Structures are given as C-alpha cells and as structure tokens.
Structure 1
Amino acid sequence: MSHMRRRSSHMGPSPDEPRASPIVGRTPRLGTGVGSTTGTSTRVPPSPSLGFGGAGTLRSAQRDPNQAPTAQEVVGRIASVLLRVLRTPRALTALVWLTLMWVASSYVRENAHHLSQRPVHPRLLPLIRHSGTALEYLSPDLGGRVKSWHDDQVKNDPNRPLTAAELEAASRHTFHPNGLLLVNPKGRHPIHLLIEDAERKWKDKVARQSKTLGEAVREYKRRHRRNPPKGFDDWWAFCEEHNIQLRDEYDQINHDLAPHWALEAHDSRHRNKVMQERDHTFTVAMHPGETMPTLHGPYWDLKRATDIADMLSLYTGRMPRPLNITYIIDDNPAVMLPYSQRERMVELGEQGEYYGPSEFIEGEDPTLSNFAQACAPNSPLRRAERGEYTPDYSGDSVRSFVWNHAKTTDLCLHPEARKLHGHTMQQGVPLGPIVPLFAFAKTKLHSDILTTPIEQWEAHYVGYEPPWSGKSMNKLLWRGSTTGVEFNRHTPWRKSQRARIHIMSHETEGERHVIWSQRGQLRDANVSTAVLNDLYMDTSFAGALQQCDAETCEILEKQFDIKPTIGLDESNTYKYMFDVDGNGWSGRFHRLMSMRSAVLKSTVFPEWYQDRVQEWVHYIPVKVDYSDVYDIMAFFVGMPDGSGGHDSLGEKIGQAGKDWARDFWRYEDMAAYMYRLSLEYSRILHHDEGDVDYVEMPDFNFD
C-alpha cells in the first residue's frame, strides 16, 4: 500500500480549479454547450464572477483573481445581501413596524393638540403605551409626548375605576391657611372630618402637657426663648393646689406683652402710672403679703371692679413685688398700633433692644381704615381696601366651614367679614402709642392686654337641667337684646351680627341650597327657606329695645318680631344654643356651655381661653357671615324628611362642652391665668432691677 498517496490535511482547490465565489457559491463549470462536441468536453477558463448582461448572457471576461473588486461590484454584492435579508419574515415585520412608527410619529407631531382632547377606544390604549415606549429609543421627546397622551386618555376615561390614591385625592377638602375648610362636593361630609381631626388635636394637647415644674420650665424656654418670670415656681404650686389643667397653654399672654418688651423699664413704669389716671378705668393694686388688693381710679367703685378684685385675691399675697394693673371699663378694646410699629417693637423686644424716639417707622396709608393699617401691607384686608383683587371666601362664593376658629377671627385674613360685625364695621379705635391697658375683649389686631371677665359667670346655674334625651326642642335657640351696634339711621345696623341672625331666621321667601350627610357621604338639595327656618331656627330679639334712636326703634317694633326673654328652665329644653357677640365679648358663653346643649359660637373676639378649648370638640364654630348655619343644622338635626341627622354627635359635643366648662373654666382657672399674667407684666416693669427671672436650681439628689 506504499504506492498509495496520502490525503492532504489541507483540502483546498488546486491552482487549476476555480475559487468559490463569496456571493453566489462556487463558480459554475461550463461543460456541454457552446464549444463542446458529442462525447468530448473542452475546459473553459472560469469566470471570476457572474454578471448580468443583455438578454441574460453570461459575462465571460476574464480577470485576475487577486485583483480588488470595483465599487460597482461592492454595491452589487451589498444590494444582493439586502435583497436576500429583506425576503425573510423578520425583516419584512421590522420594515412594516418602522413604517408604522414613522407614520404614527408624523401624525402625532402634526395633530398633538387635537389628539390630546379626542378620546380613543380603550382597546387602543395598550398599543399607544407600547408605541410611546418604543419611540423613546428614537426620540425621547416624542416618546414622552405619546406616553403623556396615553396617561391623559386613561385619566379621562369615565369608565375606568379609580385607584385608592386617586379616590382620596379627588375627594379631599382644602384646609385653607385662613382657617376655613373649603368643601369638595365629591368628598365625605366635612363635619365628620372636622370632628375627627379636632378630637385628635385635643387628645394630643392634653397628653403633652407638663407634669412637673422642671418640664414646665423647659417647655416655657422652648416656646418663649427666655426664663420664666420670678415667682413661676409659686404659680406652679398654685396650679397644683387647685388642679389647674393645661399648664403650658398661655401663649396669649406672650402675644399681648410682646411689644412691651421693647420699652425700657422706667418707660413702662411711667406709662403704667399715666394709665391709672385715665378716664373709664379702674386700677387694682396688689401688695405682697396682703390677701386683698385695693382699688382706685375714676371707676374704682363699679361692681365689675370689686368682682375682679375678689378673684385676684386668690393670689395677691403671693406676688413677689407690688403691682398695679389698670382695667378699661368698656366692653370694647382701646389700643391699636400701626402694623409696622408693632412689628418693629416685637422685633426689638426679642433682640433685647429698645424702641426709642429716634426709631424710624414708615408711615401707613391714611386712606385705609385703622383695622387695615394694623394688618400687614400684603394682607387681604389691605389689598381689598386698596381696591386690589382678593379671593372671596364669603358664603356667596364658596361653601366652607371653620377648621381653625382663631384664624377666622383675624380680620386681616377675612376682609369679607369686616362689614358684618358692629364693632369692625366702624373705622376702628385711633392708632396710638402702646399703653398698658387691661381689656376684657379685643380682636387680634388690638394691642390691649387681654384679661378674664367674670360678668354673668357662675359656678352653678340654678334651673331645670334635663339630659340630652329630655331636651324636647331640637332647634337652635338665641335670644338677645338690640346691642352690638348703634341702631340709628347713620349706621348700617341691618348688617350687624345680631340683626342679621334675626333677619335670616325670619325669612320666608325663596330656597336655600344645603348640604347634608347620608351614610357619611355628602349630599345636597334645594329646600324652602321657610321650611328650614321652621325646622331649625328659634332666634329673635328679646326684651326692651336698646341702643336705638327714636326712628330706628320704631322700625324695629314694626318690622321685627321682638319676643319676651326666656328663662333657664325653658332654655334647657333646647338641644342647640347660638352664642353671638354683643358690644364686646359674649358673657353668656360659660352659662351656655354648662347646659349640656351643643353651642354654636360666632365671634370676632378671641378670649383668654382660646388656647385652652377645642372647636368641634367642645363647641361648634360658626363663620361671621352665618353661611354655614343651615348646613351645620342639617348635619346634626337632619333634613325635613328626617334623614341625615347625627343626634348622637350633637349630644357628644354638648356633654364635652359641659365637662370642659366644669373642669377648665372655674374661678381658680381664671385666677391662674391672671396670676401668670401678673408675674409676666411685673417683670416687664422691673426688668432693670435684676432678680426678675425664675432660675431653676440644679437637683443634687442622686437617690
């Protein structure tokens, strides 16, 4: 077998054989045909490529196999490959998809605005979403627009079920910074939410109160950034002795005394002495070690003065220094500063500096009311009086309820309320310097020092007091005299707070749009005004006419239903009571809160207990324009057909109010407020003498 030739390990074409074409396979061999004879074959030199000539003839030109292909040949080869690729199913699909995307993108680009407003069939939404995702690879901007179009279509689909987050957002009410809850008609009835939120706030406030003197000192420093006044430890002992609640909630005192810190001590003492000689005042003089204060001043012999002195006697002998405080006898406040001056004094006081004659204060606009000049330059009240646009939050424009009563009493935030109250519809007291006058009532714009009035206050009110279920009158009761404004032809008295409640509750024409609650959800209806007043209201002027000239008194007698006054026994048969301001604060609020009835309160005078009571827990706050009264009564009493009432919630508020008046508004509670106020004011008068702060001593007991 040695004669046999081994097979080469490299199998390749011999030099005499044609090379394989990289385009169309191996080069064809030409056998029989042109140039061949029967039984014989003639080898024809291989063609380097297969060309296309006229009538399909074969190009037979011979070329060197090592020669580089021409440009024409390269193009031809690439075209041949593309044709072969495009004939595959995947290539055809890709081509169609790219064409569709190009057409779709061109159409979306040209008709974007029209498409955004035109609904599409829900079955096309997945295609639009996937198209947007694919287009983002080519054009992020275009892909994002397509996806936004998809999202808009989904959101606007009326048949699409909303997610939990969308349902919550769509039904959310607006808690406006001005203290009003703006009603969303798609949400729950807002009173449910207001009660739940208020109960949580009250529970948190009670739980976080200081339990020891050390905790109270630390909380005082945190809130006011200074040491407590001298005698703070004895004030704490007084609170312990009398079981005073909420011992941290005295921010009103700090607010009232803030501008006085900018006065030098000798200046404060001088102003204090001058006020003791002012008309319409009386002064209470307290001396350490003496159990009873003395009275002097022009009106020292008023019963109001002796009643105040009796209350202050609970702590007079415990004062660290002698102190004289001067009360103004009027129901109204008397001190108001321009906004820029008050703000500058508060700023200087916080920095430990003093306000002097050289202090430059930019003048206010004299064309504005004094109330507006006491507000910040960009406040709604100032803008409204300057004729600038301000949003209207009156009941004629928006349905709302009170969620923060203190903020709704701020006229700077509520210009719509200024002309609806006898006190604020006037120009306001003259703007003047800061003086230490102690007043029984003030708005947030006044700079008097607020105190605790005790007119009409009793520890116990004698009368028939049935339980809630024994109150037969499921209506809102109010009886009041013609006070709150001067009833004369020069005053728009019909817009005052007491006249409006009488007029509103005696209307018989037209309808009112009210909202009510059905299984927690908000419902609305148009109801006859006469039906609503008959169902809900028993409010009227009562007793002898007061504060009216002859002409207006005659109008009141002819046009108003003046009813007799009502006694405690009859009052206690009503489940709902209305508390409305008179010339100043309402002296009847404590009595109404003590009756186990749910009290509705409307006021512009935040009182000393404002930080110590909770709206929607202890009472029901009402807007100054009364636009929420019928909605409130519809919620608690129900509609004329008996549906939608929440009698148990009304009972709950009535009982909570009674408990609050018993536990938080006692004689001792008012004395505790005045005791702390007296310590704070005494420090302002003597802060140049030293030893005016309470400094807590370190505890070295390591047991």
Structure 2
Amino acid sequence: MQSHVRRRSSRAALATPLEDRPSPYLGGTGKTPKVEQAARMGTAGAGISEKDALGLGIGTARSGAGAGGAGGGRDARGAPLRSGGRPGEHGPPTTQEALARIGSILLRILRTPRALALLGTLSLVWFTSSYIRANSHHLSRRPVNPRLLPLIRHSGNIVHYVSPKLGGRLKSWHDYQVQHDPNRPLTAEELEAQSRHTFHPNGLLLVNDKGRHPIHLLIEDGERKWKEKVARQSKTLSEAVREYKQRYRRNPPKGFDDWWRFCEENNVQLRDEYDQINHDLAPHWALEAHDSRHRNKVMQDRDHTFTVAMHPGETQPTLHGPYWDLKRATDIAEMLSLFTGRMHRPLNITYIIDDNPAVMLPYAQRERMVELGQAGEYYGPSEFIESEDPTLSNFAQACPPNSPLRRSERGEFTPDYSGEAVRSFVWNHAKIADLCLHPEARKLHGHTMQQGVPLGPLVPLFTFAKMRLHSDILTTPIEQWEAHYVGYEPPWEGKSMNKLLWRGSTTGVEFNRHTPWRKSQRARLHIMSHETEGTKTILWSQRGQLREANVSVATLNDLYMDTSFSGALQQCDPETCELLERTMDLKPTIGLDESNTYKYVMDVDGNGWSGRFHRLMSMRSVVLKSTAFPEWYQDRVQEWVHYVPIKVDYSDVYDVMAFFVGTPDGQGGHDSLAEKIGEAGRQWARDFWRFEDMAAYMYRLSLEYVRILHHDEGDVDYVEMPSFDL
C-alpha cells in the first residue's frame, strides 16, 4: 500500500517532467539540482519514503498536484497558470506577493543575532550624533582625558579625507582641549600673551597681575616713541612742507619759510609737532573771513582781556584792552617781540586774563564747523544744529553723543576705570586728560566739578589753559618761567630726601560750605598723605616681575610722602578757613635749596595750569605730574621719559613710589631708573622749553591765524617753488 502511494505520488508529481519545470530561484528554464536529483531517484523507484521525498522537494510536488487537480488552474508547485497557457509557464508575481516575500525575507534577516546587533549599533550612532549635534558647544569645552587627545587628533586626520567639515571640527576640538589643558606646559608665546597688560584706548594701562611690572614696559615704550619722534623730524624746508601737507591736507601759511629760518637761527627742535594749533583753529576755517575779522574786533572790547597788536616792520608789539597793563600782558608782548617785525600782515590777538578757559561749543556744532572747514565751505545762519540735551552738564554736551561722560550722565552703564575698580597706570597722558573718556574724574578736580563754562558761539579768545573739549586757542604762558633758577643744584646722589615733595596753597577750588572742596585735586592730595588708618596693597617689582604687598597707610605716608598745604590760606570763606586751620596739618613753605634735595616732586594744577612745571623739570628730580589741562608742549614731551604721569585720583602714586624707592623693607627699588628720568627731564627743559621755543610756537600760531582772518584776499599760502639746482 505504501509502495502504491509512493508510485502514485511519483507519477502525479512527474506529470510535468522535472526537466521542463522552471526554477523558482533562477527565474528561467534551468533546473534545480536537488529537484533534478529527486526526479532521477523517483524514476528509479528505489524505495524512497514520503518523508524522504518531502526532504528532497518531491512532497511539495505531490501536494501541488493534488491542488492542481482540484483547481485545474495551477501548476505542480501550486502557482497559478498563465491564462490560456500551458502548464509550467508562470506569470509575474503581484505587488502584494512581492512585498510579502520581501517582508518575509527581512523578517528572517532581522531575527538573526547579527542583524539585531547592527540595528542596535545604528540606533546608538543616530542617538549619539543627535545628542552631540544639539549639545556640541558644551561638549566641546568639557575636559577630555589627555590620553584620548592623540586618538582625537588621528581621527580628525582620517575623517578629513571623507568629510573635511567633520574632520575640521574634530581637529578644532583637539586644539581646544590642548590649549585648555591645565597641566600642559605653555609655550613662550602663550606665556607672553597671558602676561600681557592691556593698553586701553582711554589712555590707561590695565594691569595684568601675571605679567612684568608695567613701569618697566612703560619706560621702554616711552623711550622708543621718543627716539622715533626725534628721528622723523624734518631736516629741510622742503621736508617740512611735505610733512605739513600730509598732516593737514593744505598748503602751509604764507611766511612759513621765514618761520623755518627763525627755527634754524634759534635751534628750535621738533619742527613738525604743532598738531595742537591745527586742532584749535579747525572750527575757525568754517567762518568767512569778514566774519572772523568781525569776531576778532569784538573780542578786543571784552572784559577780562588784553590785546597784543603786531605790525609788519615794527619790532615791538603794542598793548591795549581793559587789562593791557598787567605784568602777564607785558611778559607776553616781550616774547612776541622776537618775531613781530617778521609778520607780513598786521595781527591783533586777544588774551583772556583768567586762568581758566572761556569758550565751549556743543559737540554737534563744533563737529559741523570742522567738517565744513575741511570741505572749504562756511557755517552760516541757515545751518541747523539739533539742540543738545539740556539736562546734561556743559562738559557732557561738548562731548560726543556716545562718549562715556554722556552715557554716565544719562544714567547708562559705563565701565568703571577708577582706582577702586581696576589697577592701572597712565600710558597716554593726553587721553587721560580727556574728560569725555573719563567720567570718573569729573568730581575730582576743582574745574571739572562745576557745571562748565556756558556754551556759546565760536570766538577767537587766546588762553593759557584749556581742556581738549574747549574751543579757546591755546597759547604759551610766561608766568613763573625762568631761563635759570637760582639755588643749590645737587647731583642725584647729593639729594638726601628720598620722598615725594609738594607744597601748595589752597587754590584750585572755592573752599566754602557750598562746594565739595574735599574732593578737589589739592585737598585730596593733602588728606591722602596725612591718613594713618587702614592698610593698602601696593605693587612692587622683584627682578622685573610683579609682586604685591599689604602695608599700613601710616607706613606708606611716612616712607613716601611729604605733601601738604602751606602758606597763608586762600580762596576760603571765614568758616572754612577756620576749619582748615583746625583740621589740616599746614606746613611752612620751603625754598629752592631745600626743595632741590628731594628726589621726587609732585606737580598738580592750581586754578588753571601749573606754572611751576618748568622749574620742577629743571631740578634734576623726578616730576610726578597730575593735570586736567594739556599744555602747548603736550606733543613735544614724552611721558615716562621726561616725567611720570599720575592719574587725577592718585590711585597710582604709592605704586609709582614703591617701584622707584622700594618697599618699606628695602626691596624692589629702582633708583638708577629714577635718576635717568630726572636727568632726561632736566635736559628736556633746557633744550626744548626755552624762550625761543615758546616764541616759535606763537610765531607759527600767528601765521595760521592771520591766514584765517584774510583768506579772502589771496596770497595767503606758502607755495614752494620748484628747484632746478642740478
């Protein structure tokens, strides 16, 4: 029975010859090896059981035959026959069958261990990349074990070939980790960068406590600048003309060649450094010549003035005006007599007798006038200038709109560069004196703590002291100046007092109950140097490196300071005078012989400029100068070479003295550097601040101003003729 079933099954399965059945795997007419083998075995009838036949694929043929017999439309494998076709010819699978077959294959693949591992790996990569992409900024700055850094570097190099962008990010990550590794030894360049001080645009050097002592750097930088300035000065008239045109974009004034001869005759130095004159006269170029002459004439009748009149061919100028008989006026006329006869046109210049400036313009008006003057146009009644904020002080209204002084008065945030907030030194004294950049200094000086002179029209008033935001014309004061000062002049090693000396009267502010006089410049210097309570941190130098020491204020004042009010009390009402006598340690004045024994002397402002600066510079002592008034010689002197600049708040005085004198226990002094500055200052006063040097400044200023008064008449420029000397 089993044999019959087996034979029957074989015949039914072989109703369609195996040779003619297409392979389901090859898709053609080729034969499947196992099926072909089973067919041969079936024809042999060699006792193959049904179970064995199923193992060889024959059983499927059997069951398929049965299905085919029942349905009449399927082949031996159960596949539907083509319409109208013969058995064995298959039609294409439907889309549903194809998708089902593909899904079945994928399901079988995904059930394998390798597929599950691959799927998990891809999911992990996707999650990791997404997290890194979302948190790359924080992850890149998270510390990495230093052992992994070489792996990151090599990975970046390899990935760069596949994805330059990703490779670059890996390299950047590596570089960041290397640079921020706290245990990595720094290179020489990195050490220098970390110890670098900040030269702020406002004129302050902000101290980096990891660097060298900044005074070493300031002295080196000052010496370099001074040597470069002296070396680049014009040596001939033609060079001076070219330099003038390059700086000011116009021809020199008529008479410039004679001014050059005056400089050669009197050995005047630094013949290109007259930028102050150009700054003072810049807005006057916007006035028509007849308007300038009218304003000049009106000023001659103004109160608190005197006028010096110069006429060509006359060696002596004449004086007139309300205060023509002052000694200050006669001294000025004597200096101008050195060049009065060389003037090619008559000129009247009017001086204000006060120690303070008197002319200040709103910032927008001055800038507009400077702009028009540079363009060769004129400022007239039709010019509309937007009014300034009346709630601001006059000083702030004369400053640029976004200047620190304006922002501070508007209640906006401004960085605090006072000595209480940041440790600093002066690297550019002219910028330190610019109130627009330093609102912290406004309440620390008798002149700036007031509202400021009234804003008004541009008038030609010549003054002895002004700030950069004033529009007066700065001149050279003669008061307290002497060619030679009588007194004992010991050499540096003969100066027995290794302290800072200052004696002065109670000027600089009105000492009354309505004025905060305790914050004024001179009062603060006296009060500070007589304090005995508390301690103070000072900077000192140990083999060039910055060090700190905490010292009692009483010890510092006893070691460094000999500064005090002296003489009769001035500018104080009875109540305040009595208070000063009772609370201030007033000392007697000292003579030149005694003052010359001090190695360090202090120079501060009075009601205006300091008239004693020339005398102090002639003493071979180190002059520490604190001022709000840049003077006519500002472009012709070098801080830290000829003198030591001091902030208005005096926050750097003790640090400067600690550098030169040393700490209370005798460490870190630089007496030789102090001697060098003292000698350089004495030589500068002797060679660069002579009577002839002041006359050369005023001669050039007179030539520039007379051109402004007569530029409508023609022949007001100096035009150099070409040279045909072969």
TM-score (normalizing by structure 2) = 0.83
Match of 2:214 among 190, 193, 200: 190
Q: In the alignment, which residue of structure 2 is the partner of 1:469?
A: 493
Match of 2:679 among 655, 659, 677: 655
Give the number of the structure whose alpha-carbon radius of gyration is greater: 2
Shift of 1:155: 2.4
Match of 1:384 among 408, 416, 420: 408
In structure 2, the CA distance between the partners of 1:387 and 1:56, relative to structure 1 (3 Å rule), is farther
Q: d(CA) in 2 for partners of 1:331 and 1:54?
A: 128
In structure 2, the CA distance between the partners of 1:277 and 1:129, relative to structure 1 (3 Å rule), is same
Q: In the alignment, which residue of structure 2 is the partner of 1:277?
A: 301
Task: Find out whether 1:401 has 2:414 as its counterpart.
Answer: no
Match of 2:315 among 273, 291, 296: 291
Q: d(CA) in 2 for partners of 1:665 and 1:54?
A: 126
Task: Find out whether 1:180 has 2:180 as its counterpart.
Answer: no
Q: Which runs of 5+ in 2 are unaligned?
A: 1-31, 34-39, 45-50, 62-92
Q: In the alignment, which residue of structure 2 is the partner of 1:596?
A: 620
Q: In the alignment, which residue of structure 2 is the partner of 1:17?
A: none
Q: In the alignment, which residue of structure 1 is the partner of 2:277?
A: 253
Q: In the alignment, which residue of structure 2 is the partner of 1:680?
A: 704
Match of 1:415 among 422, 431, 439: 439
In structure 2, the CA distance between the partners of 1:226 and 1:108, relative to structure 1 (3 Å rule), is closer
Shift of 1:164: 2.4
Match of 2:606 among 582, 589, 614: 582
Q: d(CA) in 1 for partners of 2:564 and 2:705?
A: 42
AA of the residue aligned to 1:156: H
Match of 1:432 among 456, 468, 489: 456
The secondary structure found in structure 1 opposite 2:308 is: strand
Q: d(CA) in 2 for partners of 1:169 and 1:101?
A: 41
Q: d(CA) in 1 for partners of 2:548 and 2:186?
A: 23
Task: Find out whether 1:353 has 2:377 as its counterpart.
Answer: yes
Moved more, 363-372 or 145-154: 145-154
In structure 2, the CA distance between the partners of 1:631 and 1:58, relative to structure 1 (3 Å rule), is farther
Deviations 1:56-103, CA, capped at 9 Å, x for gaps: 978899xxxxxxxx99xxx9xx99xx9xxxx9xxxxxx9999999889
Shift of 1:399: 1.0
Shift of 1:429: 0.7
AA of the residue aligned to 1:183: V
AA of the residue aligned to 2:537: H
Task: Find out whether 1:486 has 2:510 as its counterpart.
Answer: yes
Moved more, 623-632 or 581-590: 623-632
Shift of 1:108: 4.8
AA of the residue aligned to 1:195: I
Q: In the alignment, which residue of structure 2 is the partner of 1:366?
A: 390
In structure 2, the CA distance between the partners of 1:428 and 1:113, relative to structure 1 (3 Å rule), is closer
AA of the residue aligned to 2:622: A
AA of the residue aligned to 2:677: I
Q: d(CA) in 1 for partners of 2:137 and 2:244?
A: 60
Q: d(CA) in 1 for partners of 2:154 and 2:308?
A: 82
Deviations 1:577-605, CA, capped at 9 Å, x for gaps: 11100000000000000011111111110
Q: d(CA) in 2 for partners of 1:227 and 1:361?
A: 30
Aligned length: 669
Shift of 1:508: 1.0
In structure 2, the CA distance between the partners of 1:55 and 1:531, relative to structure 1 (3 Å rule), is farther
Moved more, 492-501 or 395-404: 395-404
Task: Find out whether 1:610 has 2:647 as its counterpart.
Answer: no
Deviations 1:655-679, CA, capped at 9 Å, x for gaps: 1100100000000000000011111
Deviations 1:364-401, CA, capped at 9 Å, x for gaps: 11111111111111111111111111111111111111
Match of 2:188 among 164, 168, 177: 164
Deviations 1:559-593, CA, capped at 9 Å, x for gaps: 11100001111111111111100000000000000
Deviations 1:496-518, CA, capped at 9 Å, x for gaps: 00001111111111111221111
Q: d(CA) in 1 for partners of 2:432 and 2:193?
A: 25
The secondary structure found in structure 1 opposite 2:623 is: strand
Task: Find out whether 1:244 has 2:263 as its counterpart.
Answer: no
Match of 1:563 among 558, 574, 587: 587
AA of the residue aligned to 1:586: S
Aligned residues of 1:101 and 1:135 also touching (Cα < 8 A): no
Q: Which runs of 5+ in 1 are unaligned?
A: 1-26, 29-34, 37-41, 43-52, 62-69, 88-93
Shift of 1:149: 4.0
Task: Find out whether 1:203 has 2:214 as its counterpart.
Answer: no
Shift of 1:118: 4.4
Q: In the alignment, which residue of structure 2 is the partner of 1:212?
A: 236
Q: In the alignment, which residue of structure 1 is the partner of 2:67?
A: none
Q: In the alignment, which residue of structure 1 is the partner of 2:484?
A: 460
AA of the residue aligned to 1:640: P
TM-score (normalizing by structure 1) = 0.86
Q: In the alignment, which residue of structure 1 is the partner of 2:347?
A: 323
Shift of 1:130: 2.9
Q: In the alignment, which residue of structure 1 is the partner of 2:522?
A: 498
Match of 1:442 among 466, 469, 474: 466
Deviations 1:421-462, CA, capped at 9 Å, x for gaps: 000100111111111111000011111110000111011111
Aligned residues of 1:287 and 1:316 also touching (Cα < 8 A): yes
The secondary structure found in structure 2 opposite 1:412 is: helix
Q: d(CA) in 2 for partners of 1:141 and 1:566?
A: 76
AA of the residue aligned to 1:611: D
In structure 2, the CA distance between the partners of 1:109 and 1:308, relative to structure 1 (3 Å rule), is closer
The structure with the largest helix share of the pair is 2
Q: In the alignment, which residue of structure 2 is the partner of 1:12?
A: none
Calculate the aligned-residue CA RMSD, in Å: 3.8
The secondary structure found in structure 1 opposite 2:603 is: strand
Shift of 1:525: 2.2
Match of 1:306 among 324, 330, 335: 330
AA of the residue aligned to 1:119: P
Shift of 1:134: 4.3
Moved more, 389-398 or 121-130: 121-130
Deviations 1:151-187, CA, capped at 9 Å, x for gaps: 3332232210112232222112111111111111122
The secondary structure found in structure 2 opposite 1:604 is: coil
Moved more, 165-174 or 378-387: 165-174
Shift of 1:553: 0.7
Deviations 1:192-226, CA, capped at 9 Å, x for gaps: 11111111111111111110111111111111111
The secondary structure found in structure 2 opposite 1:274 is: helix
The secondary structure found in structure 1 opposite 2:493 is: helix
AA of the residue aligned to 1:219: E
Moved more, 105-114 or 462-471: 105-114
Q: d(CA) in 2 for partners of 1:487 and 1:111?
A: 64
Q: In the alignment, which residue of structure 1 is the partner of 2:151?
A: 127
Q: d(CA) in 2 for partners of 1:558 and 1:55?
A: 131
In structure 2, the CA distance between the partners of 1:57 and 1:466, relative to structure 1 (3 Å rule), is farther
In structure 2, the CA distance between the partners of 1:700 and 1:156, relative to structure 1 (3 Å rule), is closer
Q: In the alignment, which residue of structure 2 is the partner of 1:523?
A: 547
Deviations 1:448-486, CA, capped at 9 Å, x for gaps: 110000111011111111111111111111111000000
Shift of 1:235: 0.6
Aligned residues of 1:105 and 1:142 also touching (Cα < 8 A): no
Q: d(CA) in 1 for partners of 2:138 and 2:275?
A: 58
Q: d(CA) in 1 for partners of 2:371 and 2:131?
A: 63
Q: d(CA) in 2 for partners of 1:518 and 1:200?
A: 24
Q: In the alignment, which residue of structure 2 is the partner of 1:13?
A: none
Q: In the alignment, which residue of structure 2 is the partner of 1:638?
A: 662
Aligned residues of 1:101 and 1:131 also touching (Cα < 8 A): no
Q: In the alignment, which residue of structure 1 is the partner of 2:367?
A: 343
Task: Find out whether 1:622 has 2:660 as its counterpart.
Answer: no
Match of 1:232 among 252, 256, 261: 256
In structure 2, the CA distance between the partners of 1:698 and 1:106, relative to structure 1 (3 Å rule), is closer
